[in-house]
Structure 1
Amino acid sequence: MFPFSAVVGHDDLRLALLLNAVHPGIGGVLVRGEKGTAKSTIVRALAALLPELDVSRDCRFGCVPGTTDCPDAPHEGVQRRPAKLVELPVGATEDRLVGSLDLEKALTEGVRAFQPGLLAAAHRGVLYVDEVNLLHDHLVDLLLDAAAMGRAHVEREGVSISHAAQFLLVGTMNPEEGELRPQLLDRFGLTVSVKAARDVGVRTEVIRRRLAYEAAPATFAGRWADEDARLKQQITNARANLSRVSLPDSELRRIAAVCAAFEVDGMRADLVVARTATAHAAWRGAESVEESDVEVAVRLALPHRRRRDPFDEPGIEEQQLEDAMRQAAEHAQEPDGPDDGPDDDGPDGGPDDGPGGGDLPEPQEGPAGNGNAPQDRPAPEPAPAFKARLMEVPGVGEGAPGKRSRARARTGRVVRSSTVDGTGLHLVDTLTTAAPHQAARGRTGPGLVLTGTDLRRAVREGKESNLVLFVVDASGSMAARQRMSAVSGAVISLLRDAYQRRDKVGVVTFRGSQAEVALPPTTSVDAAAARLRKMRTGGRTPLADGLLKAHRVLEVEHLRDPRKRPLVVLLTDGRATSSGLGGDPAADAIKAAGLLAQTAVVVVDCEQGHVRLGLAQKVADALRGACVRLEELSADHLAGVVRAA
């Protein structure tokens, strides 16, 4: 294993992990960063630094000696063992995580016995989830329950078990692959963003150490053994010193003032900052928490809790932190008493205008030229986003787990058993079916005599995620501020809804002489919002090319994941003034629409004025989809239209 001390850089990440090792009550670490930045290497190396544990002898749950509420109690004797680092794979099953009926004992001895899962193995150790943002939702729910209560409760297959499950939760993720659910994000005590160094000297040293480790792992680890031993001893000393570190009232007021200034939700942030500051003081060998400890804790504990919306950028700006700490210093010197709270201006000293604040020039109608040189204009500021209601794709699918449409699931809740359908073995119904026939089959001892007719499969049902593809007309006829503002606001609202329901979202725009994929299908709402803000408008209307581009995007996504069902939302006034197919633009658009006739489509009619040509309705008819006017584009109306589609 690569030594912890040999890692180059990533000081904040190493400190966050070490502070959690000192005080596990902090709540773990979320590591955000681009691929290839040694996230997993550092986390795995942490296990070698953790102090050894006293556990009850032969206890499968790693209980503290003297524990009486353990399923394996009563215990006899004590043994010492290293702390464990348990890895939870993204594709793990529910049985593997929480445990299940011991199949071997059930079949050979005819008794019900519990086989512990990964939550039991991680008790008093580290539970590491690589690519935690890709973890299935039903596993996330189980993790949330265990992390909140410190115990795992299992009620399944005739087994009722409750055991301790207190662990240091460490997750790594690449934000480009999608964001994390807010409930799980808040469970991580600290968060650290890492990226590869741009300094040539640092990158050279990284390569040098990695090649040396690959050439002779034992020799390389030996060179860093003393440094790792020093860190391990420092963790042990800090743990022993932790209970003696005092947290003065002045620093408590400082912590409360900083958290109030950043307007974080709830009180968990305050508690995490207090625990982290105490652990940092113990790490330094100090006897009391000081302002510097609080500042370190704020840098690590608040960045991910400041995000009030999926489109907010994570992190804390240096000036904001300085302003908040300066304001908090005044509260730290005040006596206890009622507090009116932070100034309305917030930590940045002024009202929050949001990203992209300020007026944009009013877009003008594009020229009626040949469409080869569209007039680039920035998209207007989006209209206020609304709360999108549930949009379901009709029928029952088999896509990836999510929270949108009905689906036959490979994982999730078992609703019944079947002899033909389902995934995996329904153990209880299989044993129940076989039990009445044991005497007739000549069973005389332990174990069951099974035949093929006894086998029952588990039928699981849940929700799936979908691919929502927006096809946006960005031509000159659409460039009026009111229309594009409403379109942008609708797309942002549905992007937020897709983030919550674990969907993929893509955006195709068309203007001038061609269409382009402004946003390849992704679950990263940050990337989606950024691309939407950069969308340009102007030029002619190649509607046919926009529909063809959407068809190609859906074809590629179908090859990647045939089970993910798509929904296309076309926003246009229906005018077609150019075509890359060489024929009549309007006729070419109708022909291209036929390629999407088998896909669920909603056409949003963006035509305005007293005289309406009804062109968008004709496109909707060719697409065999529903049509709704832009001025009717509300959450309630759009949800109803999509369900009807």
Structure 2
Amino acid sequence: MIASYPFSAVVGLADLKLALVLNAVSPRVGGVLVRGEKGTAKSTVVRALATQLPQVEVVSGCRFSCDPAAPDPACPDGPHEPGAAAVRRPAALVELPVGASEDRLAGSLDVERALTEGVKAFEPGLLAAAHRGVLYVDEVNLLHDHLVDLLLDAAALGTCYVEREGVSVRHAARFLLVGTMNPEEGELRPQLLDRFGLTVEVRASRDPGERAEVVRRRLAFDADPEGFAQGWREEEAALAQRIARARDRVPSVRLPDKRLVQIATVCAGFEVDGLRADIVTANAAVAHAAWHGRDVVTREDVRAAARLSLPHRRRRDPFDAPGMDESLLDDLLGPDDPDDDGPGHDISGPDGSGPDGGTTGSDGTDGRATGPDGSEGSGPDGGPDRGADSGLDPDHSGAAEEGLDSGPPSGSGQDGRAGHGRPGEDGADGVSGVPVGGQVAAAAAPYKVRLLNVPGLGEGVAGRRSRARTAHGRATGSRRPDGRVRDLHVTATLLAAAPHQRDRGRTGSGLLLRPDDLRQVVREGREGNLVLFVVDASGSMAARKRMGAVKTAVLSLLLDAYQRRDKVGLITFRGTGAELALPPTSSVEAGAARLRSLPTGGRTPLAAGLVRAAEVLRVERLRDPSRRPLLVLVTDGRATSGGDVDRAAALLEGTASVVVDCESGPVRLGLATRLAARLRARAVPLSELGTVVHDHRKAS
């Protein structure tokens, strides 16, 4: 078996390592959501943590990892007798793939055997396998909503329930939940964000020295995984012992009423909804105190816990990015207490020694700046350089990393200059940048829009926009199953079996069933679509401050797409051509940011916008053939450059489309309405976009 990358060898990422350790010390903290760009070692750190968790004793032969000291009385493999044989094994690390089914996650009842043989057979899922271990969900924001709901309910209750066709099974499911996500691929709903105890933002360091050390260690690990892990064995063992001691200390840590009031003050001051934030912060503060060998929670423990538990709970609007003002946090906490020793005063144990009896560094290791062979720094053999690792310093606020330049500000050009591009022949810079004499219109607050959907019945990803055959929804019929029955239609099954009872020799009161009698439910629900916005940003749209209203309308449509679980894309056309401002993504925040900084001016290459839309949709059909597109064209219908509009419109034949007519004023040419007729699309005046359609059946 290939050795995993050592937790202690990870360079930097202090907040992430601290959040994971606090959950390892006290599962009551409620898990960690790790947000960050790709390639920042999110998965590496999570997998490395599992090796640091204390081993667990389980009842021998129990598929649900029951604790022999306190077995679950409702365990499907039980009841277990007192003193049952036990085995000791490492804590499990279970990974939930994005494409997992509900049966794979929660477990499945073999309904076919239950009906035909009278046998109650239950196959445990990943929640059972993760009991008393770690459940790791990579790309948690891409999971279907019903799976996320099921997962978080189990994490909150510590129990998994499986109920189907009158048969019920429950079992314990207590685990450390860790989810990772890239915000560029879409956000979680705020109510789901709130269910994660802590959250951490991860970004790659901009310090060349630290980045070089990351590469140096990774190359050494890839060249000799066993040898590299051996070099960190002492640090890993010390860290595991410290986690175990902190776990034992948690029940004895006291949370004074003064600290509880501080926690409530901070949560109220940041205007977080509900009381889950207060509870999570209190549990995290207790875990932080135990991790640092304290028996009483201090101000610094509360501060460290609040930094990790509150940022994602302040996100009110889907277009808001998680974050918090640390100066406000310090103001709400008040001045340091005279009886406190100051920030980070007890970063090791109560006796001032490290977990192995030596002096402790800020990362919980031995603090030496030497390699495993006693030499300083990182030698030619790729040995670890402890001095380069910030580790688990509780006072590491990430300020050094947060303050680093991560590129030009939002809405600016590549060179960081906002509002200045190369002027084109028509006095504009073409498509990118702001035209000379152009302007960037401001958008107002978004509003609720009417339902725009794709006609017909699809079979795409579950969502909330268009009608589709889905795994969840109302039953509309039955069919013969393809393979194993996943969703039995009991009535249809009985009706299929009833005519054959005499031929089968039925003599008793029960029906005689055969596998051919089984029927599966056909369900109809809603799917998410690809909503491709094609926005006219030409000079005619800037007239009479029309673009401000247009941006507000598109922002409202983006908000609607977020709520209906759609992918979105954004094409703008102005000047001499069209630009794909946002490739199709699940991140509506990115679309909102691009739209807010969208300049206007120049000619109207309408045909170019339509051609670019056809190209994007053609590629997306190959990438995601089950997701049906919806084209939303926002324009006044004018075309002053860019080719033949009729020929471009023909490329979009068969695509469900909506034309938002932006023409205004007392004299109207009706160009957008004629364009809608060419596209066989619905024409919706901009002023009527906010009309709420209450009868969804009529809207469909």
Measured in 1, the distance between the counterparts of 2:427 and 2:289 equals 69
Measured in 1, the distance between the counterparts of 2:327 and 2:572 equals 42
The counterpart of 1:490, out of the listed 537, 543, 553, is 553
Seen in structure 2, the aligned counterparts of structure 1 residues 520 and 18 have a Cα distance that, compared at 3 Å, is: same
The residue number in structure 1 matching 2:664 is 608
Measured in 2, the distance between the counterparts of 1:298 and 1:308 equals 18
The residue number in structure 2 matching 1:209 is 217
The Cα offsets for residues 348-381 of structure 1, whole Å up to 9 and x where unpaired, read as: xxxxxxx99xxxxxxxxx9995988654634211
Seen in structure 2, the aligned counterparts of structure 1 residues 603 and 235 have a Cα distance that, compared at 3 Å, is: same
The counterpart of 2:91, out of the listed 83, 93, 118, is 83
Seen in structure 2, the aligned counterparts of structure 1 residues 490 and 104 have a Cα distance that, compared at 3 Å, is: closer
Seen in structure 2, the aligned counterparts of structure 1 residues 436 and 515 have a Cα distance that, compared at 3 Å, is: same
Measured in 2, the distance between the counterparts of 1:499 and 1:221 equals 44
Letter in 2 for 1:2: Y
1:258, 1:324 within 8 Å by CA — same for their partners in 2?
Answer: yes
The Cα offsets for residues 221-267 of structure 1, whole Å up to 9 and x where unpaired, read as: 12111111111111111111112211122221221111111111111
The Cα offsets for residues 256-290 of structure 1, whole Å up to 9 and x where unpaired, read as: 11111111111111111111111111110012111
1:505, 1:521 within 8 Å by CA — same for their partners in 2?
Answer: yes
1:388, 1:497 within 8 Å by CA — same for their partners in 2?
Answer: yes
The residue number in structure 2 matching 1:387 is 448
Q: Secondary structure at the match of 1:377?
A: coil
1:278-297 equivalent positions in 2, closer than 5 A: 278-297=286-305
Answer with 564-573 or 90-99: which moved more: 564-573
Measured in 2, the distance between the counterparts of 1:460 and 1:423 equals 18
Letter in 1 for 2:545: Q
Seen in structure 2, the aligned counterparts of structure 1 residues 221 and 554 have a Cα distance that, compared at 3 Å, is: same
Measured in 1, the distance between the counterparts of 2:330 and 2:85 equals 48
The counterpart of 1:123, out of the listed 93, 107, 131, is 131
2:426, 2:575 within 8 Å by CA — same for their partners in 1?
Answer: no
Structure 1: gaps (5+ residues):
334-354, 357-365, 444-448, 582-587
Measured in 2, the distance between the counterparts of 1:157 and 1:632 equals 46
Q: Secondary structure at the match of 2:58?
A: strand
The residue number in structure 2 matching 1:97 is 105
Letter in 1 for 2:327: E
1:511 matched to 2:584: no
Computed over aligned residues only, the root mean square deviation of the Cα atoms, in angstroms, reads 3.3
Letter in 1 for 2:103: D
The residue number in structure 1 matching 2:34 is 31
Seen in structure 2, the aligned counterparts of structure 1 residues 453 and 164 have a Cα distance that, compared at 3 Å, is: closer
Give 1:618 shift. Answer: 1.4
The residue number in structure 2 matching 1:341 is none
The Cα offsets for residues 428-481 of structure 1, whole Å up to 9 and x where unpaired, read as: 5698667997997899xxxxx998845645534332110111111111111136
1:135 matched to 2:143: yes
Give 1:328 shift. Answer: 3.0
The residue number in structure 2 matching 1:70 is 75
Answer with 134-143 or 480-489: which moved more: 480-489
Seen in structure 2, the aligned counterparts of structure 1 residues 262 and 426 have a Cα distance that, compared at 3 Å, is: closer
Measured in 2, the distance between the counterparts of 1:11 and 1:559 equals 41
2:451, 2:692 within 8 Å by CA — same for their partners in 1?
Answer: no
Give 1:138 shift. Answer: 2.1
Q: Secondary structure at the match of 2:525?
A: strand
Letter in 2 for 1:52: Q
The counterpart of 2:184, out of the listed 137, 153, 176, is 176
Q: Secondary structure at the match of 1:20?
A: helix
The Cα offsets for residues 104-159 of structure 1, whole Å up to 9 and x where unpaired, read as: 97699651221121112222221110111111122112113223322221111452
The counterpart of 1:267, out of the listed 258, 264, 275, is 275
Calculate the TM-score normalised by the size of structure 1.
0.85
Structure 2: gaps (5+ residues):
339-409, 412-422, 507-511
Letter in 2 for 1:408: R
Give 1:183 shift. Answer: 2.5
1:630 matched to 2:693: no
Measured in 1, the distance between the counterparts of 2:620 and 2:687 equals 32
The counterpart of 1:464, out of the listed 500, 505, 527, is 527
1:515-554 equivalent positions in 2, closer than 5 A: 515-554=578-617
Measured in 2, the distance between the counterparts of 1:517 and 1:643 equals 34
The residue number in structure 1 matching 2:352 is none
The residue number in structure 2 matching 1:425 is 485
Letter in 1 for 2:447: F
The Cα offsets for residues 381-425 of structure 1, whole Å up to 9 and x where unpaired, read as: 10221123443321110112222212123x446847755676853
Identity of aligned residues (%): 62
The residue number in structure 2 matching 1:398 is 459
When you count helix as a share of all residues, which structure comes out higher? 1
Calculate the TM-score normalised by the size of structure 2.
0.79
The counterpart of 1:568, out of the listed 608, 631, 636, is 631
2:429, 2:436 within 8 Å by CA — same for their partners in 1?
Answer: no
Measured in 2, the distance between the counterparts of 1:522 and 1:643 equals 29
Measured in 1, the distance between the counterparts of 2:123 and 2:696 equals 48
Measured in 2, the distance between the counterparts of 1:321 and 1:423 equals 56
Give 1:573 shift. Answer: 1.6
1:371, 1:513 within 8 Å by CA — same for their partners in 2?
Answer: no
Measured in 2, the distance between the counterparts of 1:421 and 1:117 equals 22
Measured in 2, the distance between the counterparts of 1:482 and 1:642 equals 36
Letter in 2 for 1:305: R
Measured in 2, the distance between the counterparts of 1:66 and 1:259 equals 37
Letter in 2 for 1:227: E
The Cα offsets for residues 175-215 of structure 1, whole Å up to 9 and x where unpaired, read as: 11111122321111011111222222222222222222222
Q: Secondary structure at the match of 1:74?
A: coil
Give 1:323 shift. Answer: 2.8
2:154, 2:160 within 8 Å by CA — same for their partners in 1?
Answer: yes
Q: Secondary structure at the match of 1:54?
A: strand
Measured in 2, the distance between the counterparts of 1:548 and 1:126 equals 49
Measured in 1, the distance between the counterparts of 2:124 and 2:173 equals 11
Seen in structure 2, the aligned counterparts of structure 1 residues 327 and 106 have a Cα distance that, compared at 3 Å, is: closer
